Structure 1
Amino acid sequence: MAAELSTTININEPRWDQSTFVGRAKHFFTVTDPRNVLLTNEQLSQAHRIITDYKGVVSPGLTEDELWRAKYVFDSAFHPDTGEKMILIGRMSAQVPMNMTITGCMMTFYTTPAVLFWQWINQSFNAIVNYTNRSGDAPITVQLGAAYVSATTGAVATALGLNALTKHVSPLIGRFVPFAAVAAANCINIPLMRQELKHGIPITDENDNRLGESTKAAQQAISQVVVSRILMASPGMIPPFLMNHLEKKAFLKKFPWMSAPIQVSLVGFLVFATPLCCALFPQKSISVSRLEPELQQKIRASHPGVERVYFNKGL
């Protein structure tokens, strides 16, 4: 008869050591697994039930591997701070298929109408992702609408401006315009869409006791997310060289409609770039001495032994 699963496994933390890049990479390869997009509501509910029950009762016959699988299914669909089920295309597991499609099309179609359309699609998608993966429990406000309009305007202006500048140079250079536009939009969209810079990120001690909200922690979190997102889009730098070569061949001259599917397929590097870039920075930790002075005083008065605090950086 199999021994009952221990109740001492800490499923509030990832399975692998998050102080190392390798541990974080293993974690995010699981979190961003595109196969999680195909999970049914019944499978999500089952994972939710296993994780909720495990805090008090171990499901009969449950193994450790099944518990961790349930945890990652649960984490892929439910927000870590609010517990709400996230919109499907906003989940990190949808990042690879969605970005492959959008990035491939942005690099294939770059006439003025196409730039307007695909940058709008991209920023609409980014707005959903940024809000879905925000840290803390900030509500929807008018500022989110302003962020969406600002990011879309910035991306379109960057793309159209660079398109105009590259009309008289090699077509290869023009293919890099979408990457520059996406990078510019991320610098606008993420800080505005995630309102922690205004309200602060909830911070806790190691026992998950809430100690307050910190804008300093928010600045660290958002700057790291911006860097990760720009690097995440970097596979878009590779297909232009390949496509520039392929379009001179007889196959694409005979079947030009194949250009878009091939371009989308080439952006498949995102399968690796997405989790690896998410893993660049530790998810949640900051020294008390780096917080705003008034919050430092509050923490040292109420929790004198606390030297590090924790938060959800968001993705």
Structure 2
Amino acid sequence: MSNKVLDLDQPRYDQTEFKGRLLHFMDITNPLNLLVTPSKLQQYQELVKNYQDKPYPVLSKEEEEILWKAKRIVDSTCHPETKEPIFLPFRMSAFVPLNLIICAGLLIPKPTFANIVFWQWFNQSTMVAINWANANKSTPMSVSETATAYCTAVGASVGTALGLDHLVKKSKLSPAVNKILSKSVPFLAVSTASVLNVFLMRRKEIKEGISVTDEFGNIVGKSKAAGLNAVSQVATTRVALGIPVLLLPPLIMSRMEKTRFLKANPKWNVPIQLGIITTSLLTALPCSIAIFPQKVQSKVQDLEPHLQNLKNKDGSDLKYVYYNKGL
């Protein structure tokens, strides 16, 4: 039995520590969250809202777990600012199953020109949608701005992949080195394009700034510095995500292909590789996005001059502001 009141406005785990953020994002990115029906989601939303409006001491461990489960599903499914459900394929809980398909395509041995173009296009199209769906919504982009960013990101991805593939094929290095480099092309292409994708899809946040709030969630202004920091941190997580997902599986498989088992049973090559990719995705996603907190605390003195002299309701100087970094 417990008499504590839960703070459902905040994540369950301490977001100032990496471990707490990791546990939080393991909950958020869990693919099983996709199985929740719209009607069940609505029940969870109402349960969380009713408790937030009128919190009461939790009487049992079971009640506490029910409330945290509702909170987990709502956080995984709905945007933290709009509170509206994110379109299912673009939720972070759909990231692993969706990217398993993409990774399998990107790692096709000896890809043709058509293979490279299609999978880089498909990957960046997916990333554009995910970046848009999970971005800070205080500075939305127009349809034309989104279309321009999409075309540029896809063009950069395909161009980088084709260029790197051409360089590897034309290089005069040893076959062993060439094989390793060719397996690294998807990672280099995706990482380069992913960073560009994030900055293009969210460049308006840098240009116009994003909303920053006080500790109670009241908007106190807009900050370009906060926008740049938010977008830069998301771009960093994209690169970190690509390392174990696109770089490690090919290197592991290049070793495993030499084993007696795979030489005798080549049909197991693809299933084993997909198993390694799945494990990499399930591990890398929460680890990479847990590098930085989603709700960022920033010192006012680190932001623009127009935010320097803000006051709290009691007249004291406002020392910290907060903003949604996005995912």
Alignment TM-score, normalising by the size of structure 1: 0.90
Question: What letter is aligned with 1:131?
Answer: W
For residue 130 of structure 1, what is the aligned residue in structure 2? 131
Task: Spell out the pairing of 1:189-268 with structure 2 (5 A cutoff).
Answer: 189-194=197-202, 195-235=204-244, 236-247=246-257, 259-268=269-278
Q: CA deviation at 1:250?
A: 7.8
For residue 271 of structure 1, what is the aligned residue in structure 2? 282
TM-superposition CA deviations, 1:21-79 (whole Å, max 9, x none): 11111111111111112222122112111112112356998711110110010011110
8 Å contact kept, 2:131–2:198: yes
Whole-Å Cα distance in 1 between the matches of residues 267 and 145 of structure 2? Answer: 41
The alpha-carbon distance between structure 1 residues 22 and 41, as it changes in their structure 2 partners (threshold 3 A), is same
8 Å contact kept, 1:120–1:152: yes
For residue 120 of structure 2, what is the aligned residue in structure 1? 119
TM-superposition CA deviations, 1:204-262 (whole Å, max 9, x none): 00111110111101111111111111101111211112322444568767887765444
For residue 148 of structure 1, what is the aligned residue in structure 2? 150
Whole-Å Cα distance in 2 between the matches of residues 261 and 198 of structure 1? Answer: 46
Q: CA deviation at 1:187?
A: 1.7
Question: What letter is aligned with 1:103?
Answer: C
What's the secondary structure of 1:139's corresponding residue?
coil
Alignment TM-score, normalising by the size of structure 2: 0.87
Question: What letter is aligned with 2:219?
Answer: R
Whole-Å Cα distance in 1 between the matches of residues 233 and 300 of structure 2? Answer: 19
Q: CA deviation at 1:289?
A: 0.6
8 Å contact kept, 2:205–2:227: yes
For residue 286 of structure 1, what is the aligned residue in structure 2? 298
Question: What letter is aligned with 2:73?
Answer: V
8 Å contact kept, 2:241–2:288: yes
User: Stretches of 4+ moved more than 6 A in 1?
Assistant: 58-62, 249-257
Q: CA deviation at 1:265?
A: 2.2
What's the secondary structure of 1:238's corresponding residue?
helix
Given candidates 174, 187, 190, the residue that maps to 1:182 is 190
Matched residue count? 311
Question: What letter is aligned with 1:70?
Answer: A
Question: What letter is aligned with 1:225?
Answer: V
What's the secondary structure of 1:233's corresponding residue?
helix
Whole-Å Cα distance in 2 between the matches of residues 21 and 15 of structure 1? Answer: 13
- Pairwise CA RMSD of aligned residues? 2.5
Question: What letter is aligned with 2:167?
Answer: L
Bigger shift: residues 173-182 or 163-172: 163-172
Q: CA deviation at 1:296?
A: 2.2
Question: What letter is aligned with 1:36?
Answer: N
TM-superposition CA deviations, 1:89-143 (whole Å, max 9, x none): 1111111122222122201152211000000110011011101110133334121
For residue 34 of structure 2, what is the aligned residue in structure 1? 37
What's the secondary structure of 1:136's corresponding residue?
coil
For residue 11 of structure 2, what is the aligned residue in structure 1? 14
Whole-Å Cα distance in 2 between the matches of residues 301 and 24 of structure 1? Answer: 28
Structure with larger RCO (C-alpha < 8 A, sep 6+): 1
Whole-Å Cα distance in 1 between the matches of residues 45 and 10 of structure 2? Answer: 16
For residue 85 of structure 1, what is the aligned residue in structure 2? 85
What's the secondary structure of 1:285's corresponding residue?
strand
Whole-Å Cα distance in 1 between the matches of residues 49 and 312 of structure 2? Answer: 34
